[in-house]
A and B are shown apart, each in its own frame.
Chain A
Amino acid sequence: MSDYLLELRDVSTGFGANTVLHGCSYHVSKGEIAGVLGLNGAGKSVSLKVVAGLLPAWSGQVFFLGEDVTKMSVEERVARGMGHVPQGRQVFPDFTVEENLRLGAYTLRRRDKSRYKSVLDGLLERFPILAERRDQLAGTMSGGQQAMLAVARGLMSEPKLLVIDEPSAGLSPVAVQELFETLKVVHETGVTILLVEQNVTFSLKVADRVHIMQRGQIVYEGIVGNLDTDKVADYLGVGRLLSKSLKASAPEPVVTR
């Protein structure tokens, strides 16, 4: 049992002979935006694959809504309320925006077809650029617009938890700014978000809580606003240069695990 919305407990996994996660544990409480930070190759995205069920955990457990879902298939986890915004967005290029959204609502339409119309209209309202390009093929849209579509698609199944993997990669600063606002708005509607992001400042702006991962383990966890900036800077290999900007946004440190 677990009292968090989502919890990873001592998960280790990897590919073939290489172990990537060595007993990684972190948790996301209801209504929170949790960020997972770390350098390239630290295993951030791999941990999301375990959360989603795409990658089996060699050992350890995954809890969602308090239930042990380690052995559960991807489809079932989505049905229980886990929405995804995959790495590199992975929108369906040959489908129109609406078809992408309709597919995003696959589990919703199986649960309760009548709600589909209202959820769709609600989202189109909130994402005007998608409303304009409703019948445009997703493949022909810009990186930023595709990111919006991916987020909207993730929300179409009215998830309790939205898992977002490196949304800012390859986006222009302007698009990153828009994405930041969108995530803020989405969070206000009460959706819990688990965010993996390589862009440190972006994460610190968005997340409430931060878990720092290094070589497959969580080495630091703290509420944004009272982070031990030097330790965080060191873990993130950002060095003293950036600690100045970190200080501005993180008042007091929290004891590490």
Chain B
Amino acid sequence: MGQTLITGLATGGIYALLAVGIVLVFKGSRVLNFAQGEMGTFGLFIAFWLIERQNLPWIVGALGAIVVVAGIGFAFERIVVRNMGDAPRLSVAVATIGLLLLLFALELKIFGPSPQILPGPISGLGIKVAGFFVSPTQILALLTAIGLGIALATFLKRTDFGLGVLAASQDPGATRLVGVPLARVSAFTWALAGGVSAMAALLIEPTVGIFAAGFMTGLFVRGLAAALIGGLTSLPGAFVGGVVVGIVEAFIQQRYVQSTFPGIGSVAVMVVIVLVLLVRPQGLWGKAAV
């Protein structure tokens, strides 16, 4: 029983990281970034190239991936999101689908379709934690998720620019009228979201082992569920949502591990999404944003 809870918490931490990326972009430019997952996979390929082909240490590969994907987020915002100005949000969402397909096609073209294996930051066997068993990478994932959350929360609340980012999500018009450069806020959130998605991918991959093009898109939907539970506009909500989704999925899968009906876990996650949308579209913390 406890083991399932631990596993749920660990994967939940990773879903939370994904959800934070989704919520950041939604707060920054009121757009649901469908490429959030695939940006992570692209980061994995960059890390793979740095670590395996140029055999640099893991940390250098990871940082390289985070910087490159943050750059992709920044560039996409600067080139596309900005000059779409106040075009309907769905057109911008479709543009992010374009980014998803572009990254997917680039991965296939540059790195080839075959699955790759990337070693985790700390290998070695699992450790006993209060009688239950967790792998080192899962612990690292959870710690990073929490650490990033705290760092982000303090930055947003303490600094002026951070306050500007939070204000942008409440009322973009008023934010500009107090002198906050909305363009820079939007660029910042997209770059940060890129970095966060690369970090999430780097932490998920070791637990899964093998990754290929499109690897993260499957997990994107779970990150989306987590963000929705939080209400798409609240960072703490995204965290709680991530953990909830992780634990629900773990318990359902554990309960039906013998059954031959496939994909019970993902069915549970989807039912959660639909229920949250029907009952409380603005999620547990957020305000009705759309």
Contacts and interface: CB of A to CB of B under 8 A. Distances in A.
A and B touch in the complex (CB under 8 A): yes
Contacts of A79: 179
Contact of B177 (A84, A94, A95, A99): A84
A134 interface: no
Interface residues of A, number: 25
A92 B174 contact: yes
A169 interface: no
Contacts of B177: 52, 54, 74, 78, 84, 86, 90
Interface of A: 52, 54, 73-75, 78-79, 84, 86, 90-95, 99, 102-104, 106-107, 109-110, 153, 157
Contacts of A99: 163
Interface in B173-221: 173-182
Interface stretch (B5-13, B16-24, B164-172, B247-255): B164-172
Nearest to B180: A106
A23 to B, nearest CB: 26
B173 to A, nearest CB: 6
Contacts of A84: 177-178
B179 A78 contact: yes
Contacts of B166: 94-95
Contact of A102 (B163, B174, B182): B163
Interface of B is mostly: helix
B78 to A, nearest CB: 15
B280 interface: no
Given A109-B160, A110-B160, A104 B170 contact: no
Nearest to A74: B176
Given A52-B177, A90-B177, A153-B178, 7 more contacts: A74-B177, A86-B174, A90-B174, A94-B170, A106-B160, A106-B164, A106-B178
B201 to A, nearest CB: 31
Contact of A103 (B167, B173, B182, B287): B167
Contacts of A73: 181
Given A94-B287, A99-B163, A106 B171 contact: no
A210 B164 CA distance: 35
Nearest to A85: B177
A164 to B, nearest CB: 12
A131 B177 CA distance: 23
Nearest to B157: A99
A202 to B, nearest CB: 22
B180 A103 contact: yes
Contacts of A90: 171, 173-174, 177
A63 B239 CA distance: 48
Contacts of A78: 177-179
Contacts of A102: 160, 163
A6 to B, nearest CB: 16
Contacts of A103: 160, 163-164, 167, 175, 178, 180
B173 A54 contact: yes
Nearest to A73: B181
A204 to B, nearest CB: 26
B179 A157 contact: yes
Contacts of A157: 178-179
A217 B174 CA distance: 27
A90 B181 CA distance: 17
Contacts of B287: 93-94
Most buried by B among A92, A104, A110: A92
